[in-house]
Every structure is written in structure tokens, then in C-alpha cells.
Structure 1
């Protein structure tokens, strides 16, 4: 008889922005006690509001097995890393900057028990490189969630060179317990999803830049012709042009010229046109 996949009883999330709140929500509605640690009280309050809103939406859709109040009774926020002391798993979800992630992961590890697991939600940075900075690299893995987390059915499990076989199997079972599908990849620049997704998006940007077609028509071609749920340019707006630029620059440095960021992307980021979060990117989001 196959055992039911289980998630850790207590899960921590470092960073309560859009992704971190989504990760917290995913574990919370499956029965875990969840703690989000943020850099200050204002950010922690924002994380609290985001998770509460997500839980309320789940309740409205009828996807909770308990009331929203009961789920939220297991959720808390903090500005103190000591709050992670009882966690079986902590997922780091800070901005996509290598030095920032290293500092954050090392600080979290100092507050974890020896048998606790640590994961990064990085979408492109070297998981092996991050693991090399930790005292227990075998307890570290990449868990690349996708935005928006509640609607996405995919988690990319990224194995560092020193990730233990036990953790590799356990991370896949966590994904199943969350009601999502795991894609397991060995550490490489951009993994599988970001590498392919960014390659398509950069070419779509070049086509806009060269006047081949409008952003609307390029996206329609991929949605209608290839059954993509969202076109590459609208996806870029949702992810954030600044985030996509950072990933492209990293892939350019590691994989070569085919990932060189187009000038149109650099120009839009310089003008503050970052996509949905600023109201304008390749599309107008003001409505």
C-alpha cells in the first residue's frame, strides 16, 4: 500500500512577497503550520494580508477542507529568524540576487535543527553554488514554484550536486502532497523551465523590436497555435520585466549570446515599465 505523501508539520518561508505568500498559502491549506519571516514589521503585515486574501479566495472557491479562520490560526509572521527553530522545512523566497540569497540562507541555517531541510525558490541561480555556502549542503534543494502559486500545478525540484537522495525523493513527495506535479532536474543555468521560457520570451521581444508583429499578435500566435495558456510577453509582464532581465543577464553570462537581453527589455526596465506591478510593460495593466 502506497503511503500518503506528507508535508512537514511546520514550514517556514523567508520573504512574504507575491511568491513567498503563495508558497505559504500552498502549505497552509494542506494542513501545515506556516511562519513567514520578513525584514520589518511593515513587510510582515503585507505578507499577513496577502496570505489572508489568498486563503479567503480558496474558501470562496470551496477548495478548503476547513474554515478560513481555522487555516489562518496556523499562520503567523515574524521579523525574527528564531521563529524558524521548530520548522522541518524553510523555503527561501527573497529577490533573485545571488549574494542576497547566500546571506539569507546562511542566516536561516543557523536557526534550524540538524535534521531540518532548507530550500530556495530561485528560478535560475546555481543551486549547487548556493549549497556550497552552507554547512549542511545535503539538506538543501531547489523548489522552484511558479507564479501564481495557487493556480500553478508545477514545482521544479532542482538537485544540487550534494542534495541527498533521501531529500530528492522527499521533495518530490512534498510536491505531490501539495497537489502539484514535480519536474526533477539536475542543477544547470536556468534549470529547464526558466531556460526554455526565457528563450521564447527574448525572441518574442526581438520580434516586437524588429517590427515583425505586435505584442498582442505574437502572444496570440503562441496561445492559439501552440496552446500556451498565456503568451510569452504577457507572462513576462506578470513575472516582471526586471526579474526577466536579471535572469537573462545570468543566462547570458553562463550560456552565451543566445540569451543576450534585447535593448527593448533594457529600455523598458530603465523607464520603470516592469509589467503588471507598475501598470505597464509590453501591455497596459492600468485597468
Structure 2
């Protein structure tokens, strides 16, 4: 079986949260019919609200017209039934970053998806090989790690599992590029390229602030002015979500050892419920 981009018309997305709704929006923007699935109707509705807000901003920026935005929304359908993904040519899983959750989803997808369907996971740190092993077709499973926020960020990390077929890798690259993205490839090692480098950068920025090297503002300013990045490490941590940063760093620590030990202040913030933009307070206050 040889898969190609021209065999993809219908896209399934598992998870209607920040990443899932973003992937659904971008796929629909580029002409694909999308089925967005989550476990509860409320989550699906929240996903559509997120998409509507994002499209409204794009219309306000004159990136899209109102009719184009309406067409994007019309190409996305929502469901709580996994069986509704049976006619999808590629399914991108964007559920909780927990290995057991993802393995359960892929075992279920293995039962309901046609053999030619490409099964992709948006995981940022977990093993593609371990996720793929929950299926009877590990050659069809690939990592397709979109960056947050998906409608804005240009990069997509394509990750090769131990048994990922070459044609599946080609389709993953081609699909992401057809969504206006640029891709790079990583082997199935902890954190891949992006988070293996990004998380210790964020973690060390938090340590520098906690140890009094500089104020949080100067830590961020120093990195923006010194390295030409758009956000400093503490700003970016708030944007990503401190709980997500902690979880990713703990995964890397477990796999790679002490150099990835989470900063004490990061753990304390998460325990206090100050998770960044999504809770209104992290290292900074947010409206």
C-alpha cells in the first residue's frame, strides 16, 4: 500500500482543545473537510467557540473575508463518536499528553479506521513507537507535532517511529506543507527536537529568575534582545501553560536524567494553580 497526499480529502481530529481546534481550523482553511471529535459535547462546543474567535480575529485583520471564514466553519463538523472518523483519510490525535490516554485512543482508532488511513499523534514529548504499539499497524503511525498557536505558527515537527513506513512519512510532510507549514524531521527520541531544546531553555529562565539573577522582565528582555526570539522564557511558559511545561520537563527528566530536573518555582506555581494565560496568572498577570 502506497499512500499519497492526493488520497487525503477528509481529516479527523481527536481532541477539541487548544491544539485540536487549531489543527481543525487550519485543515478546514486549506480546503479539507474536517471531523473534530472529543469525549463530551461541551468540549466540542468549546472547540467551535475557539475556532470562531480565531476566525473573527483573522477577519478583523483582513486576513480572511467573512465569507471565507464562514466557509471554514462549514467544513468542520463536531462529534463525540469515534466511529464518525471511519471515513477520514488521516486522523490527527491531539488529546491529553498522557501515554495511556493516547494508547487507548490509538487502539480504538485501529479498530475503526480503514487500513489505508494515516494515524498521526500531536504529542510533543511521548514516544511514537510506544503509541504505535497499541495498534496492529505501527507502520501507519507518525508524529505530527504542530506548534501552538496552530493557526499562527509555521512549524510542524514530523517524527518517525521505529516502524513508521516511508510513504507515511512523505504524506505527513506533504500534508503539513499543504496546510502552509514548514516541516522538520526528528527521530523518536525524548522531546524530539523542539521540546528537547525548548524546555530546558524555559526551565533555566525560571531558575535564573528564582535565584535572583534578574527580574522576570529582565530575564525575558535579555533573551529577546540577546537572541532575537519573540518571547522570553517566562513569557513563553505563561503562553504554553505552566502545567504543560512541567509535564513535558518531568517526562524529559524521567527519560534523560538530572539535567532536565524541573525548576522548583515551576512546580510551586503549578501547585498553586497559576498556570499562565489560561488561568489569568502565571509569572505575569493576564486579562
**Which residue number corresponds to residue 140 of structure 2?**
139
Q: What's the C-alpha RMSD, in Å, of the aligned pairs?
A: 1.6
Q: Given the alignment of the two structures, is residue 56 of structure 1 paired with residue 56 of structure 2, yes or no?
A: yes
Say whether the 8 Å CA contact 1:89–1:118 is kept in structure 2.
yes
How much does 1:205 deviate? 1.0
Matches within 5 A, 1:90-239: 90-239=91-240
Residues 6-64 of structure 1, C-alpha deviations (whole Å, 9 max, x = no match): 58210010010111110001100000000111111111111122222323333444444
How much does 1:80 deviate? 0.3
**Which residue number corresponds to residue 43 of structure 1?**
43
**Which residue number corresponds to residue 254 of structure 1?**
255
How much does 1:134 deviate? 1.2
Residues 135-160 of structure 1, C-alpha deviations (whole Å, 9 max, x = no match): 11111100101111111010000110
Change (3 A) 1:128 1:190: same
Which one is further off, 149-158 or 104-113?
A: 104-113
Q: Distance in 2 between matches of 1:280 and 1:89?
A: 37
Q: List runs of 5+ in structure 1 lacking aligned partners.
A: none
Say whether the 8 Å CA contact 2:106–2:132 is kept in structure 1.
no
Q: Distance in 2 between matches of 1:54 and 1:10?
A: 22
TM-score normalised by length of structure 2: 0.95
Change (3 A) 1:7 1:231: farther
Q: Distance in 2 between matches of 1:239 and 1:110?
A: 33
Number of residue pairs the alignment of both structures matches: 283
Residues 172-220 of structure 1, C-alpha deviations (whole Å, 9 max, x = no match): 1112111111011111000000010001111111111111111111111
Q: Distance in 1 between matches of 2:7 and 2:152?
A: 19
TM-score normalised by length of structure 1: 0.95
Q: Distance in 2 between matches of 1:60 and 1:7?
A: 34
SS at structure 2 position matched to 1:39:
coil
Q: List runs of 5+ in structure 2 lacking aligned partners.
A: none
Which one is further off, 167-176 or 20-29?
A: 167-176
SS at structure 2 position matched to 1:91:
strand
**Which residue number corresponds to residue 278 of structure 2?**
277
